[in-house]
């Protein structure tokens, strides 16, 4: 089954009603058996924040669509924003000298001695685990991740940027997924939300 990416902005600006758009977004379900807050956050964002973030220009959400029984099916989604990665001085000093040297080739120090590098934040990425989506089996997490790369590369060709980064839980299965897809964890870094940081050079993205 072919996959299609639809911009939430395009949906909002189309002739579809707000009720129809919300019905589509609420067809997305996360894994109910998972105890990690990250899975719940992915669902909460799409249900209750995505439209507001889209209108305010905070992030852009893209719906990955397929079909099931000849009807449109929301297979998954991802959300991107242009946001520089800023590593506070205290965190930066904990990074290995080798990694500091590598990072310095991509960014600069701020007046507060923090480290800043231009890039894109992969704020959300989720696969639909609704009953219909699980039966259809039309997409994998890797498929959705690689589709997000296509949008990052489109933006990169227009406005530049050096890295793609994301924050995720300290969960070995989640971190392994991103490691297997080219991301590196920034050791000894923890965000204000107690999340770890995964980084990948845009020049190495493939889809």
Q: Domain extents for the chain? A: 4-204
Distance of CA 95 to the CA centre of its chain: 24
The answer to whether 144 and 194 have CB atoms below 8 angstroms apart is no
Task: Choose the CATH number for 4-204 among 3.40.630.30, 1.10.357.10, 3.30.1360.70, 3.40.50.300.
Answer: 3.40.630.30
pTM of the model: 0.89
What does the pLDDT average to over 102-131?
A: 78
24-63 pLDDT, tens per residue?
Answer: 999 999 987 555 666 789 999 999 999 999 999 999 999 9
Strands 107-109, 85-87: pairing is unpaired
- In three-state secondary structure terms, 40 is helix
Q: Under a CB-based contact definition with an 8 Å cutoff, are residues 95 and 115 in contact?
A: no
Task: List, for residues 59-111, the tens digit of each pLDDT value.
Answer: 999 999 999 888 999 999 999 999 888 877 777 766 676 666 666 555 555 55
The pair phi, psi for residue 48, each rounded to 5°, is -125, -5
> Would you say how long the chain is, in residues?
207
Tell me which of 113 and 131 has the higher pLDDT.
131
Mean pLDDT, rounded, of the chain: 87
């Amino acid at each position: 089954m072919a996959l299609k990416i639809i911009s939430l902005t395009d949906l909002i600006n189309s002739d579809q009603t707000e009720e129809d758009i919300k019905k589509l977004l609420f067809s997305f379900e996360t894994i109910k058996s998972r105890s990690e807050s990250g899975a719940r956050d992915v669902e909460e964002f799409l249900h209750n924040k995505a439209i507001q973030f889209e209108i305010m220009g905070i992030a852009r959400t893209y719906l990955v669509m397929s079909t099931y029984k000849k009807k449109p099916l929301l297979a998954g989604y991802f959300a991107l924003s242009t946001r520089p990665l800023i590593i506070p001085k205290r965190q930066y000093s904990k990074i290995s000298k080798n990694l500091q040297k590598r990072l310095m080739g991509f960014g600069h120090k701020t007046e507060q001695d923090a480290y800043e590098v231009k890039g894109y934040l992969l704020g959300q990425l989720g696969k639909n685990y609704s009953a219909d989506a699980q039966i259809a089996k039309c997409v994998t997490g890797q498929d959705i991740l690689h589709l997000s790369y296509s949008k990052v590369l489109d933006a990169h060709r227009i406005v530049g940027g050096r890295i793609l980064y994301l924050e995720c839980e300290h969960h070995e299965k989640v971190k392994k997924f991103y490691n297997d897809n080219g991301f590196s964890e920034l050791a000894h870094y923890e965000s204000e939300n107690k999340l770890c940081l995964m980084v990948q050079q845009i020049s190495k993205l493939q889809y």
